[in-house]
Chains A and B, each alone.
Chain A
Amino acid sequence: MQRIQHDGTDHPHELDESSPFAPQTPQEVDAMLSAISADSVEELFDVPEAVAFHGDFDIEAKSEYEVVTEIEELLGQNADRTEFLGRGHYDHYVPSVVDYLSLRSEFLTSYTQYQPETSQGFLQALFEFQSMIVELTGLDVANCSMYDAATALGEAALLAARVRETSGSRVLVPETIRSERHSVLENYADGAELTVETYPLAEGNTDVGALSELIDEDVVMVYAESPTARGAIEERLSAVATLADDHEAAFCLGSDPVALALLKEPAAVGADIVIGDASVLGLSASHGMGLGLFAVKDGYLRQVPGRLVGTSETAEGRRAYTLTLQTREQHIRKERATSNICTNQAWVALRTAIHIATLGASGLAALAEDCVATASEAAARLDAVEGVTAPVDDRHHFREFVARTERPASEVASELADRGFLVHEVGEFEVQICVTETNSDDVDGLVAAVQEVLE
C-alpha cells in the first residue's frame, strides 16, 4: 500500500491517493503491518476474487477549496427568489446562538447516549427538549424525536392500532393533508393492514357532520391538523376529539411548536397524540429536512416509538439522565419493537431546544402572535387587489392562507416567479402564501407583483 506523505498543506490542485481524514503516516502503516505480521493492507481483505472490485468510481478527489467552490457554484444555480412558501416547512429566523452552540463538536460528533455517565450533557438537553414539548402540548410524554412530521404521523397510526383493545383497520385524515404526508402514512399503515381514508372539510375546518358519518368502530385513529395545510386554525378540535373518543379511536393532532405556543393546548381539546414538525424552530429552510415531534398521553407510554430520556440518580445520589424504557426499542424487542427507528434527529432537537430557550416564553408567544397578525395583514392587502380574494376560507389563519385568483393559479404562480416571488399553486384558481419574519419585508413587493400579474 502506497501512502503519500502529507506535507501539512492542502493547496488546491494538490491531490493525493490517501484520505486526508486518515492520520496514519507511511512509517506508522509499516509499523502496524509488522505488528500484525502482514506484508500489505490488501492481504487483510478476506474478499473472494469473484466479488472483488478492481475498478474505479471515476470520482476525482478534490481539495477542500475545490469542493467548497464547486458546491457554492452548484448551489448558486438555485435561482434567487423570495419564497412565500410554507405548507409544512417554514422558514423562521434562527438566532446565531443556536448555530454556535449546537455546532460545538461535543454535541455534533457524539452519538446516541448508550453510556449515559459520559453523555450527561446531551441527555439533559434532550430531556429539556421533551419537557418543552410536554409544556407546549399539555400531554404527559414526549419522545426526543422522529424523523419528520410525516413519519411521526405514520408511527402515530401504528401506535393507535396497538393500543386499541379491539382490532380496527381504518385511519381517517383530513382531505387537505399534504399528499406527501398522506403517502408516507399509507406506507406505514400498510404493513399493519390499516387503510387511510380522507374526510371532508367545510369552510376550511373539519366537516364534523361528514366525519361522524364516516367514523365507525373500525377506526383506530382520527387525525386533524391545526393549523391545516392551508393555514387555517382548526376550530372544531373538541368535536373531533369527542367523535374519536366515542368510537374508541385515538385522536391525533398535527401542529408545530410555534402554533402550539398560542393555540389551545392539544390536551385541553382532547388530543391523545400530537405529531408535527418541531424544526420550524431550530432549522431554517432546509429543503424539507425536519424534526418529528411526538407526544402522547400517559396511558400510551409503553407504546411510544423512539428514544426517551428520563431522570434517575447516580450512585452518590446526584440527579442524572439516561435513556430509558429501552425494551420498547428495536435493539431489544426486535420485530416486536414499537418502531424500527434507531438513528433519529437528536441534533435537530438540540437546536430546537436552544432556539426555544433563546426565545423564552415571551419571545415564543410573540413569534406565534406575529404569525396570526402577519397572515391576516397580508391576506387583507391581497384581498384589496382586484381579482384576488383572500383568504378563501373564512377562518383565522396562522402564517399562511389561500387566495383565489381570477386568472389560473399556474399562470399567476409562474408570472410571480418571473417577478422574483414564489408562491404555492394549490388549486386551479388558488395560490397559497406563507409569511414569516424572514419574508414579511417583502410583502410590499409581492402585493405589487400580484397587482401587475392580475391587471
Chain B
Amino acid sequence: MNYQQATWTRETDTGEPVNEPLLSEKRTQTVTYDDVDLPDELVRDELTLPEPAEPEVARHYTRLSQMNYSVEHGPYPLGSCTMKYNPKFIEDVAALEDGAIHPDRPDEYAQGTLGILHGLQEYLAEIGGMETATLQPPAGAAGEFTGLLVARAYHQSNDEDDQRREVIVPASAHGTNFASAAMAGYDVVELPSDEDGRVPVDALEEAVGDSTAALMLTNPNTLGLFERDIADIADIVHDAGGLLYYDGANLNALLGRARPGDMGFDIMHYNVHKTFASPHGGGGPGAGPIGVVDELTEFLPDPHVRETEDGSFELYEPAESIGKVHGFYGNWLVLLKTYAYISRLGDGGLKDTSAMAVLNANYLASQIDLDITYGPFHHEFVASAGDVDAAEFAKGMLDEGVHPPTTKWPEIVDEALMTEPTEALSKEQLDVLAAAFTATNRKTSDELADAPTTTAAARIDQTSAARNPRLSWQDVGENDE
C-alpha cells in the first residue's frame, strides 16, 4: 500500500519545525476588564487566548483532522475497542433540536426524551437478558464502578458488606476492572488464566469464599475465547454468595446468540460506543449503561425511568438506590445514537452483526502469517509478533496505511497483537489489512526502528515527553533542558 498522511511542516517564529503551529503561535489577544459591573477584586486582571478569525479556525482544525487516522480512512482493528463504522444518520438524530433540552425539565415536559431513554432501557435489557438497565454511567469503566456499587449495596442489604471485601478479576482483564474495583473500595484478587486461556475453574473454586463480593468477567474474554464453563463458574460464585459481573466490551461477538443474563451474570455493562456504533470521538464520549437481574433493580442509580399506567414516562428513585454516578442522566447524545442504531438494525441486523464480526475475525486470522495460539476465537484474536516487539510491529503497520491492533495485551500472549476487524470491513478491506500484516512481518528490525515514515509525525520520543512533561502551550519553549 502506498500511503502518506498529510502534513504542512513549517517553522515557528522561534525556528522550531512543526506540522501545524499551535493556535497560540498564531494571532492571540489579551483582554482587560475595565467596565465590568463587579468589584475589582473579583475580576481577573487579564485574559490571553488565541483569537483566530473563523476562516483560520476552519483551516487549523481541518489540517489537524487530516493528521488523524480514523475508522473512515480504513481498517482500525484495535482489539477490544470495536472500531466499527459509525452510521451518519445517528449524528443527524443527535442534532435534532427537540432533543436539546435541559435535564431539569419536569417529566411532563420531557416525555420524548424519557420515552427514548425508557425504550433504550428495554432494548438493552432484552439484548443482555437482564431485567432492566440504567443509562447513567458515562463509559464502560463508570459502568463497572456503578455495577460494583450495586453489588456492594446488595451485600450491605444482606449485612455481608463487612465480610465481602474482595472482587476477583482474571489476570487477562482490562485495567479498568481492577481500577474500578479499587475505587469501589474492594481488594482485588487476581486470577491467573488457565493454559487454554480461560478461567481455571479449580483455581476459581479456591479463590471464592465468604469474602467474595463479585467476580468480574469478560466473555468472550480478551483472547476472543468463550468461557465454556460459564454455567459452572456462575454456580461457584453464586454458591459462595458472590455476584457475577459481565464486562460487556466484547458483546459484539454474541449479539443475538448468547445473553449474559442467560449465562448467569447478575450485573453487566454495555459499552455502547463499541457494540452499538456510537462514534469513539478520539477517546469519548461513550456510555456504559448497566443491566441487572431482578433482585438488584432496587439498588440502581437514581433516577430510573418507568412507564406509568397512562403510558407516559416518569423518573423515580429505586427504593434502595445507590444514588448517583453522573451529575445528570449520563451521556444523552450517545444514548440517543445508540437507540437509533439498535432501532435501525432490529433483531436481524443485530444477529448479522455478531455473525459478520466473527466471520471477519476468523477470515482475517486465516490470511496472516503469525502465531495465534488461542482459539476458537470469536470477534477478535490475539496474534503474536514473535521475536519482534509488538509495539515496533505496530509502528511498521502504520506505514501500510492501516491502524495497527492493540499491542502487548493480554499479557498471556508474548508480544500480543490483539486484532478486532469488526463486521464493518469488507473482504477486500480485510485483504488489505492482511497484506499490511504480511508486509510488516517482512520488515527488518532496522526498517521497523525507522517506522513510521508515512505518518504526519515520525517516531515520537516518549521518554523525553515523560521525563520533562510539557503539558500546555505555556510550557512550550520553556524548561527545555
Contact = CB atoms under 8 A, between A and B. Distances in A.
Indicate if A touches B (C-beta under 8 A): yes
Contacts, number: 658
Interface string B370-410: 00000010100000000000000011001000011011010
Interface string A160-191: 00000000000000000010110110111011
Contacts of B425: 23
Contacts of A210: none
B170 to A, nearest CB: 12
Interface residues of B, number: 205
A81 B201 CA distance: 58
A11 interface: no
A264 B43 CA distance: 5
A35 interface: yes
Given A111-B78, A180-B324, A53 B129 contact: yes
Contact of B398 (A42, A60, A118, A180): A118
A59 B103 contact: no
A313 interface: yes
B91 to A, nearest CB: 6
Contact of A312 (B85, B180, B461): B461
A396 B344 CA distance: 50
A7 to B, nearest CB: 17
Contact of B64 (A122, A147, A285, A364): A122
Nearest to B230: A51
A263 B36 CA distance: 11
A241 to B, nearest CB: 14
Interface string A284-311: 1111111000000000010000011111
Given A120-B456, A315-B458, A330-B176, 10 more contacts: A20-B345, A22-B423, A62-B344, A64-B87, A118-B403, A147-B142, A150-B327, A315-B459, A343-B280, A361-B29
B275 interface: no
B283 A344 contact: yes
Interface stretch (B204-212, B352-360, B440-448): B352-360
A110 B70 contact: yes
A75 B359 contact: no
Contacts of B334: 289
B31 A180 contact: no
Contacts of B324: 150, 180, 183-184, 187
Contacts of B100: 91, 284-286
Interface string B62-90: 11111111111100101001011111010
B83 A342 contact: no
Interface in B333-361: 333-334, 336, 339-340, 342-353, 355-360
A319 B126 contact: no
Contact of A361 (B31, B175, B351): B31
B256 A57 contact: yes
Contacts of A311: 465, 470, 475-476
Interface in A106-154: 106-122, 124-128, 130-132, 134-136, 140-142, 144-145, 147-151
A352 to B, nearest CB: 12
A19 to B, nearest CB: 4
| Interface pairs A-B: 7 shortest CB-CB | A288-B328, A61-B346, A347-B281, A346-B283, A150-B327, A360-B51, A288-B103
Contacts of B360: 24, 32
A59 B29 contact: no
A10 to B, nearest CB: 10
B157 interface: no
A247 interface: no
A131 B110 contact: no
A287 B340 contact: no
B139 A422 contact: no
A77 B114 CA distance: 10
A384 interface: no
A57 B283 CA distance: 30
Contact of A35 (B63, B366, B464, B475): B366
A301 to B, nearest CB: 7
Interface in A324-342: 324-325, 329-337, 339-342
B385 to A, nearest CB: 15
B95 interface: yes
B52 interface: yes
Nearest to A355: B57
A110 B181 contact: no
Interface stretch (A96-104, A216-224, A440-448): A96-104
The residue in A38, A76, A122, A286 that gathers the most chain B C-beta atoms within 10 A of its C-beta is A286
A67 B57 contact: no
B259 A53 contact: yes
Nearest to B263: A51
Contacts of B394: 115
Nearest to A398: B38
A329 B345 contact: no
Interface string A1-33: 101000000000001111111111000110111
Interface string B14-42: 00111110111000111101001111011
A61 B462 contact: no
A357 B65 contact: no
B369 interface: no
Contact of A288 (B5, B231, B327, B344): B327
B116 A75 contact: yes
Interface stretch (B183-191, B237-245, B289-297): B183-191
A422 B104 CA distance: 9
A88 to B, nearest CB: 7
Interface in A63-79: 63-64, 67-68, 70-72, 74-79
A109 B102 contact: no
Contacts of B458: 117, 314-316, 318
A101 B61 contact: yes
Contact of B343 (A70, A103, A192): A70
Interface stretch (A365-373, A385-393, A401-409): A365-373
B424 interface: yes
Contacts of A424: 104
Contacts of A263: 42-44
Interface in B164-214: 174-176, 178-186, 188
B183 A1 contact: no
Given A235-B42, A347-B282, A369 B36 contact: yes
A75 B50 contact: no
B258 interface: yes
Given A265-B44, A289-B331, A347-B282, A67 B89 contact: yes
